[in-house]
Every structure is written in C-alpha cells, then in structure tokens.
C-alpha cells in the first residue's frame, strides 16, 4: 500500500488496503462464512483482476513474464488448495498472501496508474 502511494498508483493502494482490512476481519472471525467472507473474496478477486489487467500495460517484457508467473502461481495455488485441502496450511500463505504482495509491490513500483491511462 505504501509503495503504491509513493509511486502514485492510488487505485492499487485503495484495493490493497481493502483486501488487508477484509482479510484481517475474515481471519479474526475464524474464517466463518457470511458477508465478511463474501466481501473478502470479492476484494481479493478484484485485486487479482487488477493485477492481470496491469500485465497488459507492463512497461517491459521481463515484467510481463514475472507478472504472468505471479498470476499463474497465485491461481494454481488457489486451485490446488481447494482440491487438496491438506496443502492449504503451507501453500495458502505463500500463494495467496506472499506472491500477490510481491506482485502488487512490483506493479506499484514499475507501472503507471490505470486511472491515468484511461
């Protein structure tokens, strides 16, 4: 979030903040189903979609490759942890928190704001 603010990618800062707030609320409720869980999923999916959209505006091919790897890994780990629940404990934090966090940081530091592009 801070990097996104520093580099003036404010929509990423807002999306990231919403994801963090929703995720913390969801985990504090012990991951119970309900409105908070639904909003958490919606915000996480919105941030993922934003990241995929930013791939099309990557300023360098190396960033396209890196960001596509982040997207594929995130999606792959999400699918795998749904299919094989025993993998969730280890892979959920890596695939759904660490990789997206690194991905968002790279986007914040290297991309222009989509709001400015449109």
Report whether 74 contacts 48 (CB < 8 A).
yes
Q: What is the pTM of this model?
A: 0.93
pLDDT in tens, 76-92: 999 999 999 999 999 99
Structural domains counted in the chain:
1
Task: Give, as one character, the DSSP assignment of residue 31.
Answer: T
Owning domain of residue 102: 2-117
pLDDT of residue 61: 97
Pick from 52, 26, 27: nearest CA to 39:
26
């Amino acid at each position: 979030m801070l990097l996104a603010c520093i580099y003036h990618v404010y929509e990423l800062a807002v999306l990231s903040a919403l994801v963090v707030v929703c995720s913390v609320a969801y985990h504090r409720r012990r991951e119970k189903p309900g409105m908070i869980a639904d909003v958490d999923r919606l915000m996480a999916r919105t941030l993922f979609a934003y990241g995929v959209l930013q791939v099309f505006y990557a300023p360098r091919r190396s960033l396209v490759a890196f960001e596509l790897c982040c997207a594929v890994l995130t999606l792959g780990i999400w699918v795998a942890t749904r299919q094989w629940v025993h993998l969730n404990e280890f892979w959920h934090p890596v695939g759904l928190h660490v990789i997206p966090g690194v991905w968002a940081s790279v986007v914040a530091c290297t991309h222009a704001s989509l709001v400015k592009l449109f």
